[in-house]
Structure 1
Amino acid sequence: MPRLKFYLLGLSACAVLLVALRLWPHAPLREAAPLSRVVLAEGGELLRLTLAGDGQYRLWLPLEQVAPAMIDSILLKEDREFYQHPGVSPSALVRAAMATYSGGVRQGGSTLSMQLARRLYGLNSRQIPGKLQQIALALWLEARHSKHDILEAYLNLAPMGGNIEGVEAASRIYFGKSARQLSLSEALALAVIPQQPSRRGRFGPALQQARLQLMASWQSEHPNDPRNDGLLQLPLEARTRQQLAFRAPHLSEYLLANRKELALHSTLNLPLQSLLEQLLSQFVAERSSQGVHNAVALLVDSRDQSVKALVGSADYFSPSIRGQVNGVQGRRSPGSTLKPFLYGLALDQGVIHPMSIIKDAATAFGNFQPENFDGKFAGPLTAQEALVRSRNVPAVWLASQISQPSLHGFLQRAGIQRLRVEEFYGLGLALGGGELTPAELARLYLLLAGDGRLRNVRYTSDEPATVGAPLLSPQAAFMVRDMLRHNPRPDGLPPDRRGRNWPVAWKTGTSWGYHDAWSAGLVGPYVLVVWVGNFEGQPNPAFIGLKTAAPLFFRIADALPLALPKVQASVDQPPSGLSRVEVCAASGDLPNRWCPQTRKTWYIPGVSPIRVSTLHRPVMIDRKTGKAACPPYDPASTEQQIFEFWPSDLQRLFAAAGLPRRTPPDSLSDCQTALASNQQDAPRITSPLTQVTYSLRLSQPEESIALTANAASDARVLYWFAGQTLLGQSTPQSALNWRPGSSGKYQLKVSDDQGRSNSRALQVEFLP
């Protein structure tokens, strides 16, 4: 009994010691060697594999993610009793010693644990002292680490030919796939490489023969495996290190420089990346005679904010264009590509609506006298036309009208880096006076593609798609998109030339001095930014946005629907809080009865400027003299004619453009008092009543207030406003039913289609 107790105590002590060794803090085997870094595309394709710090290609893949065929093959080849022995197999050592020292074929008796010990501690196990040391260290590893961790470490550190270690690095290099995806045939091939030191990585006859021998063992061990009936005996083709993937170099280098993770899973779509690289290369080759040698393109999916393609130069390997420079991160003058955001701010601040008329005429803003690109002035334009035609004078005028934020403040809030103080740029910032990168410009257009909120550009799958502060309202963002969709293609083809519902809302830009040509916009669900120029900043008259960048932009835009046949662009629905109204085409205001042509426009109720047009007015003309007639009018000798009352400076612009407008008679001033609108004929509000508080019940949503007014006999339409908000229109014979949004005081205003108006204060309260 005492002896048994002694043995039990000894076994207990050993067990406690083993548990203590296992639990005692120690570095994981993953930290035993430096690792390579890998950049992957969204589909898992290899973009870049770097060397580890010791010059090896080495990646770490958790055991659970290694293909089961790979694990089974390595155990079959190297250590069939791995899970039964404590780190050393005495029978294997005896068998190897007898074969080696009896003059037979040299054999190895090392277990996986022993091989890992030799690898970790740099042992020379060919001599007996080294072998004994290897045995001791293998037992030490087994005591300190689990079988799971030892097998995982071996699979990731085993020599796989040259400077390649581990099954993940080997699988990526030889087969272009992760070790997760290895087939049985490929797994058997990798399993024999560690024991072929002179032929590691060379898939020649000897290695193929070793694979076939291991395959025979596999079929003997797994006779019912359905994979045995496959084409396992066919020679296996493998790539070399010289064929190692080197794709999307600018994106790969950007991620490697700015992220610390070993495995970088980018959002890049490899087919789209190849498509953009090919299109840029072809475009530059075609335009080389014009001095076009370099271009940049960035494609972002607005649905999840992910970068799908990034081409930082036309040729990464060309030293003549400094091709290794990443142009997507280079700062350049954006030209007119910022104008959409200027117009968005003006829409939000109530300066314009899309059909507002803006004057494009020679104008001085202090000592700043902007000119248009063509050196001409177009006269009155709608805001939409001014944006689409990229007129500079209207843009500078808008910049002078907006505040809180100004365009500079907007760019600051958007996170644009390296902006100087606002006074440095002045109003010239509206014309591209600052500098930003294509990546920053894509971020701005990503904002425009959504609801006006700032969004980050995602380069990796683990980056969250964050939504930041609102910089434009959803209504303004939609209106700007709608305006830009009216920008005609540079080749004159219809927008739907490909027959797909992929609307394009786009804008060009040309920097001062012809240094940079830009085109940026929305193509279906994607944001696309294109830049053409050279990294040295040398000017070239060919660097014009419309003539150089736009053709490349549309070459890509036309190819995207064909490359992505399963992607359907959704219809851009207007957000709530946006209304549509008919305005006079010539003035952009609500049409009076003499407006000859109308068009519809979007507007934000309570924000967008809405008033009744006074551009078209009637004048009684004496048939004999052709001059204005004064009352009383003789029907036999006078007639009513409609004139457009344009300011004199715009009249001169029309004349200079060869489009003279019919001017009102010079003698009109003699009858001005009689011809002026008579406020005694202004509409008279009959409902709501004065000095009455109108009570509406929340429980009765159909209750409303009837808006009615008496009007002069020449009035045909009445427009009703609450403050600056257009409520709707009615006729003098009908009522407009209105239900306010909340209790409070309102200032009601009614205007007829001749510009006459009247107003009345109103108190409203809501009851349960």
Structure 2
Amino acid sequence: MRPRKPFLVGAATGVLLLLGLDLFFPPDMSRYEEASQAVTDAGGQLLRAFTTTDGMWRLRTDVQDVDPRYLDLLIAYEDKRFWRHPGVDPLALARALGQWVSSGHVVSGASTLTMQAARLLEPRQRGIGAKFVEMLRALQLERRYSKREILGIYLTLAPFIGNVEGVQAATLSLFGKSPSQLTVGESALLVALPQSPAARHPVNHPEAARAGRGEVLKRLVERDRLDSQTANEAGEEGLPTARMPFPFLAPHLAQGLIERDKSSKRLVSILDAKLQASAESLIKREAEWYNDQASIAAIAVRIKDRAVRMYVGGHDFFGPQGQVDLAKATRSPGSTLKPFIYGMAFDELMAMPQTRIQDLPKRFGDWAPKNFDRDYHGRVTVQAALQQSLNLPALAVLERLGPERFAAQLRTAGATLQLPGGRTSIGLPLALGGVGMTLRDLVMLYAALGDEGKAKPLRYLADAADERSFPVMSPDAAWTILGILGDGPRPDGIADTGSLSRRISYKTGTSYGFRDAWAVGVSNGYVVGVWVGRADGTPRPGFYGRQAAAPIMFKLFDQLPQESGAPSGLLKEASLRYETPLALARFEDDDDLKPHILYPPDSSLIELARQKSGGLGALTLRAEGGALPLRWLVNGMPIASDERLSEASWQPDGEGFVHVVVIDAKDRIDTASVRLK
């Protein structure tokens, strides 16, 4: 009994020593941890990957990522007792030693997949000493990790071709697909390549690659893991003839997500890879029409969960300034904020869709803004003012709302407003694009129109949704705005496209100097925003939102699925025509407005109908605004008119120039000089 005591003490000391060595000298996992960062779509399809610091494509690959058939072939060929041994296979080791002793040289190896994983983690010169270290490391790995995790190490680090490591990177580079669906021939080639990656490179050395694959298939038939027919068919499969590029979708968003989270090796976005590829292709085709280095950015969001399903930060990532993410670049939004001005005015009972409002010349201090078409339309409804994107009515409403208050509401909703030129206060130019915003924020605001007026943060990753919401306007106001925008005319050339089947409520915008062209629309559970312009912000005369951005937006809507349901606001489309209370019939009091001559327009040429006698017909004089009664003078002579009306008629005595004057009851004047013909 006594002799056993020293043995037990020695054994216990040996175990403690091994445990201590394992504790103080753990396996070096740095190569595995330094895998390539990758961004996938919501279904796991790769969008973009990034090389490691040592220039390798090394995509983290787990057991569930690969075709089970490949795993079966790998284990059957490399390590048939993988699931049973403790990291070192005693039977394989004994066989290899016996063959070495009897033949004097190595006939077969005894490396298990766990030992290979250890060698891949810590590469070193091969030899007896290195093999002994691999065995110890394999035992350590088995103690620390599960069998599936050890397989994941091998699947991530196994060398294949050039700077490609790991099964996922290899299948993308060789076959242009993920490793989840592989043929028997592809699986056998992947089993053969790590043994001699350079010598069996299928593009550079196809015969050697074919021979290596054949050797794997032959041994698997001998071990009854494949039947002869399947092996023969696999051996007839073609080999890759060129290295394929890695997926490169949504590069701007992928770059931004990686910069925000440098530790995660795989980020799962909420994008749809199929939709993303289709949208990028469409946008590249549209950009071919431009020869002035203009770029295009676009975002599509599913409203119900704010999932960003498509994101294009620019159409040419490797072009001039192509790596600038234009979807988050700060730009002037033009007129795209007008719907929110009117929506808030509806909530404040300042106006309704059929409220009549003046589109007439007006000065705001030293500022005398004009409409985009340089014309004025007199008294129009709020609905028409929004559909036609008239500037003067929007400014009048914002002036009553208060620009600071309006801006505060947008900021509360999550939008960032950047003031130009170091200004510290918001002014009326806000209505016409006098602040800086991003396409991201604009799309976020428009998504609120499709969700009862509630703004929520956009989701870029497939994690838990941010349930915070911020009211931009009431559900009634949001639905009314959508109805107004949905009744507006479509851009030229759009009526015959597939988007005719869906009702798109959209707004366009053009910034000062034609620097930015915008279009943002809401339809069937989605919002799509498009920006067109130059990355450096230089002007593009003649390019505006309705003509440059809106057609692209409509085409992108054609690629989206039709979500069920519609905005659940309380108002119906008929609400756009409901009876307006008398108090809201007009936005301004006529007595508060100076008169404005609507006809004849100033500096115009008027062709009058000829009478039977050959003389000119009567000239109609029409004004709007001002306090009644109005007085009319032509060339200094008073004209008879009805004091209850805002128009009169004058009979000219021949062709030539005439000067028309109208004076209201408060002695306010407007004039027009025209030529009669």
Measured after TM superposition, the shift of residue 148 of structure 1 is: 4.5
In the alignment, the residues of structure 2 paired with residue 499 and residue 416 of structure 1 have an alpha-carbon distance, to the nearest angstrom, of 29
SS at match of 2:299: strand
Measured after TM superposition, the shift of residue 667 of structure 1 is: 9.3
Structure 1 pair 492/398, CA: closer, same or farther in 2 (3 Å)? farther
**Which residue of structure 2 lines up, in the alignment, with residue 453 of structure 1?**
454
**Which residue of structure 2 lines up, in the alignment, with residue 278 of structure 1?**
281
Measured after TM superposition, the shift of residue 354 of structure 1 is: 1.0
What residue identity is the alignment partner of 1:600? R
What residue identity is the alignment partner of 2:318? F
Structure 1, 65-74 or 533-542: larger mean CA deviation: 65-74
Structure 1 pair 613/526, CA: closer, same or farther in 2 (3 Å)? closer
**Which residue of structure 2 lines up, in the alignment, with residue 601 of structure 1?**
578
Structure 2 spans left out of the alignment, 5+ residues: 603-619, 631-639, 645-677
Counterpart check, 1:264 vs 2:267 = yes
In the alignment, the residues of structure 1 paired with residue 253 and residue 189 of structure 2 have an alpha-carbon distance, to the nearest angstrom, of 33
Measured after TM superposition, the shift of residue 5 of structure 1 is: 7.8
Structure 1 pair 515/227, CA: closer, same or farther in 2 (3 Å)? farther
Measured after TM superposition, the shift of residue 132 of structure 1 is: 3.8
Q: Is the 8 A contact 2:335 2:508 kept in 1?
A: yes
TM-score (norm 1): 0.70
Q: Is the 8 A contact 2:176 2:244 kept in 1?
A: no
Q: Is the 8 A contact 1:118 1:125 kept in 2?
A: no
Deviations 1:373-406 (A, max 9, x none): 2222111111110011111110110011114972
Q: What are the equivalent positions in structure 2 for 1:46-61 lying under 5 Å apart?
A: 46-61=46-61
Measured after TM superposition, the shift of residue 97 of structure 1 is: 5.4
In the alignment, the residues of structure 2 paired with residue 614 and residue 438 of structure 1 have an alpha-carbon distance, to the nearest angstrom, of 34
Counterpart check, 1:344 vs 2:343 = yes
Q: What are the equivalent positions in structure 2 for 1:506-525 lying under 5 Å apart?
A: 506-525=506-525
In the alignment, the residues of structure 2 paired with residue 205 and residue 227 of structure 1 have an alpha-carbon distance, to the nearest angstrom, of 21
Q: What are the equivalent positions in structure 2 for 1:499-538 lying under 5 Å apart?
A: 501-538=501-538
Measured after TM superposition, the shift of residue 346 of structure 1 is: 0.9
Q: Is the 8 A contact 1:334 1:435 kept in 2?
A: yes
In the alignment, the residues of structure 2 paired with residue 349 and residue 612 of structure 1 have an alpha-carbon distance, to the nearest angstrom, of 11
SS at match of 2:498: coil
Q: What are the equivalent positions in structure 2 for 1:226-375 lying under 5 Å apart?
A: 228=230, 231-238=233-240, 241=243, 243-260=245-262, 261-288=264-291, 291=292, 293-319=294-320, 322-375=321-374
Q: What are the equivalent positions in structure 2 for 1:661-700 lying under 5 Å apart?
A: none
Q: Is the 8 A contact 1:361 1:653 kept in 2?
A: no
Q: Is the 8 A contact 1:396 1:430 kept in 2?
A: yes
Measured after TM superposition, the shift of residue 427 of structure 1 is: 0.8
Counterpart check, 1:62 vs 2:56 = no
What residue identity is the alignment partner of 2:339? P
Measured after TM superposition, the shift of residue 212 of structure 1 is: 2.6
In the alignment, the residues of structure 2 paired with residue 347 and residue 115 of structure 1 have an alpha-carbon distance, to the nearest angstrom, of 70
**Which residue of structure 2 lines up, in the alignment, with residue 193 of structure 1?**
193
What residue identity is the alignment partner of 2:194? P
Which is higher, the Rg of structure 1 or of structure 2?
1
Equivalent of residue 205 in structure 1, options 207, 218, 233 = 207
Structure 1 pair 17/179, CA: closer, same or farther in 2 (3 Å)? farther
Structure 1 pair 18/62, CA: closer, same or farther in 2 (3 Å)? farther
Structure 1 pair 133/309, CA: closer, same or farther in 2 (3 Å)? closer
More relative contact order, 1 or 2 (CA 8 Å, 6+ apart): 2
**Which residue of structure 1 lines up, in the alignment, with residue 562 of structure 2?**
568
SS at match of 1:335: coil
**Which residue of structure 1 lines up, in the alignment, with residue 637 of structure 2?**
none
Structure 1, 222-231 or 150-159: larger mean CA deviation: 222-231
In the alignment, the residues of structure 2 paired with residue 329 and residue 539 of structure 1 have an alpha-carbon distance, to the nearest angstrom, of 19
In the alignment, the residues of structure 1 paired with residue 319 and residue 467 of structure 2 have an alpha-carbon distance, to the nearest angstrom, of 37
What residue identity is the alignment partner of 2:361? A
Structure 1 pair 214/572, CA: closer, same or farther in 2 (3 Å)? same
In the alignment, the residues of structure 1 paired with residue 184 and residue 258 of structure 2 have an alpha-carbon distance, to the nearest angstrom, of 33
Q: What are the equivalent positions in structure 2 for 1:423-502 lying under 5 Å apart?
A: 424-462=425-463, 464-491=465-492, 494=495, 498=498, 501-502=501-502
SS at match of 2:337: helix
Structure 1 pair 106/492, CA: closer, same or farther in 2 (3 Å)? closer
Q: Is the 8 A contact 1:408 1:422 kept in 2?
A: no
In the alignment, the residues of structure 2 paired with residue 356 and residue 79 of structure 1 have an alpha-carbon distance, to the nearest angstrom, of 81
TM-score (norm 2): 0.78
Q: Is the 8 A contact 2:60 2:265 kept in 1?
A: no
Counterpart check, 1:410 vs 2:387 = no
What residue identity is the alignment partner of 1:271? K
Q: Is the 8 A contact 2:596 2:623 kept in 1?
A: yes
What residue identity is the alignment partner of 1:575? G
SS at match of 1:286: coil
Measured after TM superposition, the shift of residue 188 of structure 1 is: 2.3
**Which residue of structure 2 lines up, in the alignment, with residue 150 of structure 1?**
150
In the alignment, the residues of structure 1 paired with residue 229 and residue 44 of structure 2 have an alpha-carbon distance, to the nearest angstrom, of 25
In the alignment, the residues of structure 1 paired with residue 423 and residue 399 of structure 2 have an alpha-carbon distance, to the nearest angstrom, of 13
**Which residue of structure 1 lines up, in the alignment, with residue 216 of structure 2?**
214
Measured after TM superposition, the shift of residue 573 of structure 1 is: 5.1
In the alignment, the residues of structure 1 paired with residue 111 and residue 226 of structure 2 have an alpha-carbon distance, to the nearest angstrom, of 30
Measured after TM superposition, the shift of residue 305 of structure 1 is: 1.6
Counterpart check, 1:389 vs 2:388 = yes
**Which residue of structure 2 lines up, in the alignment, with residue 652 of structure 1?**
597
SS at match of 1:179: coil
Output the aligned Cα RMSD. 3.9
In the alignment, the residues of structure 1 paired with residue 143 and residue 568 of structure 2 have an alpha-carbon distance, to the nearest angstrom, of 68
**Which residue of structure 1 lines up, in the alignment, with residue 634 of structure 2?**
none
Q: Is the 8 A contact 1:60 1:166 kept in 2?
A: yes
In the alignment, the residues of structure 1 paired with residue 538 and residue 57 of structure 2 have an alpha-carbon distance, to the nearest angstrom, of 41
SS at match of 2:480: helix
Structure 1 pair 549/197, CA: closer, same or farther in 2 (3 Å)? closer
In the alignment, the residues of structure 2 paired with residue 413 and residue 659 of structure 1 have an alpha-carbon distance, to the nearest angstrom, of 49
Structure 1 spans left out of the alignment, 5+ residues: 583-598, 604-608, 616-644, 671-768
In the alignment, the residues of structure 1 paired with residue 6 and residue 83 of structure 2 have an alpha-carbon distance, to the nearest angstrom, of 29
**Which residue of structure 2 lines up, in the alignment, with residue 702 of structure 1?**
none
In the alignment, the residues of structure 1 paired with residue 154 and residue 293 of structure 2 have an alpha-carbon distance, to the nearest angstrom, of 53
In the alignment, the residues of structure 1 paired with residue 405 and residue 274 of structure 2 have an alpha-carbon distance, to the nearest angstrom, of 41
What residue identity is the alignment partner of 2:298? A
Q: Is the 8 A contact 2:36 2:58 kept in 1?
A: yes
Counterpart check, 1:161 vs 2:106 = no
Q: Is the 8 A contact 2:346 2:352 kept in 1?
A: yes
Q: Is the 8 A contact 1:114 1:134 kept in 2?
A: yes
Question: Sequence identity of aligned pairs in percent?
Answer: 34
What residue identity is the alignment partner of 2:310? A
Number of residue equivalences:
607
Structure 1 pair 30/229, CA: closer, same or farther in 2 (3 Å)? same
Q: Is the 8 A contact 2:202 2:210 kept in 1?
A: no
Deviations 1:103-129 (A, max 9, x none): 667543323333333333333223x34
Measured after TM superposition, the shift of residue 454 of structure 1 is: 1.4
What residue identity is the alignment partner of 1:446? A
Q: Is the 8 A contact 2:27 2:141 kept in 1?
A: no
